A = this chain, B = another copy of it.
């Protein structure tokens, strides 16, 4: 049984793979987890040893079949718990993530399936992400340009189309990462800019060009 840390690494590698931004490098994982790359290399070796991933300096990290299974399982639990927190306990969508991050690590062979049944087999979590089925099937996520999102909708950064330092620097400055949740507040026709809210915090105005370089789902 993977440890809590191992599960978090698997989950992170899984979402980086989903985001499809090419090679999953040490630094990408380190950044996503807020860890030091040194810690990451240790863990990748451990996960390799357990045949949950393959890792190669050149090719980066990649989940094995076994690792994918484990990761999807965690994602399933995460999204089911998010649904529970939102639908049954009345939490707002911005609150559910952190609690589900804890709940997803609870181990029991029947828990996810019972919860799924109790919730009426929901298709999507409160953020609109598909909930993996018990058999491991995940509905494909269609990615959209941030620019095309309608106001008041919540979304999650899935990928970026620009890899220039300038662009990434700006993302960093705004604390936007893969997985960061955004809400489109307003679309300003004049000047074609967008007002967005980043995670739970600050509202920021971004340009059309910028919003067309970010893919969300």
List A residues at the B interface (Cβ < 8 Å): 88-91, 98-99, 102-103, 105-108, 110-111, 114-115, 118
Contacts and interface: CB of A to CB of B under 8 A. Distances in A.
A87 B38 CA distance: 46
A58 B212 CA distance: 64
The number of times this chain is found in the oligomer is: 2
A102 B4 CA distance: 12
17 contacts: A88-B118, A89-B111, A89-B114, A89-B115, A89-B118, A90-B114, A91-B110, A91-B114, A98-B108, A99-B106, A99-B108, A99-B111, A102-B105, A102-B106, A102-B107, A103-B103, A103-B106
A111 B98 CA distance: 12
A192 to B, nearest CB: 38
Nearest to A102: B106
A106 B91 CA distance: 15
Given A90-B114, A102-B107, 16 more contacts: A88-B118, A89-B111, A89-B114, A89-B115, A89-B118, A91-B110, A91-B114, A98-B108, A99-B106, A99-B108, A99-B111, A102-B105, A102-B106, A102-B108, A103-B103, A103-B106
A213 B91 CA distance: 39
A115 B90 CA distance: 10
A110 B85 CA distance: 11
Q: 9 shortest A-B CB distances, which residue pairs? A: A89-B114, A102-B106, A99-B108, A89-B118, A88-B118, A103-B106, A99-B111, A89-B115, A99-B106
